[in-house]
Amino acid sequence: MELVLPMTMTFAGDRDATEAELVAACRRGDEAAFAALVRRHQHRVFGLASRFFRRREDVEEVAQETFLAAWRRLDTYEARAPFEHWITRVCLRRCYARLDAERCRDAPLPAAEPAAPEHDPAVGIDVERLLARLAPADRFVLLLLDGEGWSVKEIAERVGWSAANVKVRAFRARHRLRRVLEEDR
């Protein structure tokens, strides 16, 4: 049985309310204000999570976990940067944690999944299989660098790592990708 709550759950002045007003209302426990925040940022969170996960269920789960974590930890948001940056960071951490958990579980590559648009037969590269052979940290950094097109500085700011750390991880990730491609020939 599916709950039908927030169809009627609208924050007064949803469209006009500033981010700060919505966040303040959320901190007072206003669920309608939180629903408004979710509506505003759901596409961004989905877009980011879908960089790392192929299956819709995984993307959905990470997106839900991101917003639930945001609701629980909203008191840690200091409003020095836009809310989008903060929610991006929360989402990235959830993605990384899930990638890491998948590695621990040694989840098999879903080879039988239908319609893999990344696999271009003309090029002969199945990027999904390629990524599966990389460590989660390498996959994570490569997808942010080449997938999202972020700079080292942007990754450092949004993930909360130091720039030097991102550089080292990026170097290692590219090196391992090269090795995997060489082995693949």
Partner 1 sequence: MTGRRAEDGVGGRTDGRLESRLDEVRRLLRDHHAGIEPDPHFVTRVMARLPRDASWSITWAARRILPVSLACAMVLTLALLAGGRAATTATASGAASVSASAASAGAGDPLEWLLESRGEYR
Binding site for partner 1 (CB under 8 A): 2-7, 9, 29, 31, 34-35, 38-39, 42-43, 46-47, 49-54, 56, 59-60, 63-64, 67-68, 71-72, 117-118, 120, 123, 125, 127, 130, 142-143, 146-147, 149, 177-178, 181-182, 185
CA dihedral sign, ordered 159, 164, 168, 171 = positive
- The nearer residue to partner 1, 10 or 165, going by C-beta atoms, is 10
Decide whether 23 or 177 has the Cβ nearer to partner 1. Answer: 177
Q: Residue 116 or 163: which CB sits closer to partner 1? A: 116
Select 43 or 103, whichever has its Cβ closest to partner 1: 43
Coil, strand or helix at 38: helix
Bridge partners for 125 per DSSP:
120
Which residue in 106, 102, 126 sits closest to 115, CA to CA?
126
The CB-of-64 to partner 1 minimum distance in angstroms stands at: 6
Q: How far is the CB of 87 from partner 1 (least distance, A)?
A: 12
Angle at 104 between CA 103 and CA 105, to 5 degrees: 90
DSSP type of residue 12: T
Which tokens belong to 133? 């052979």
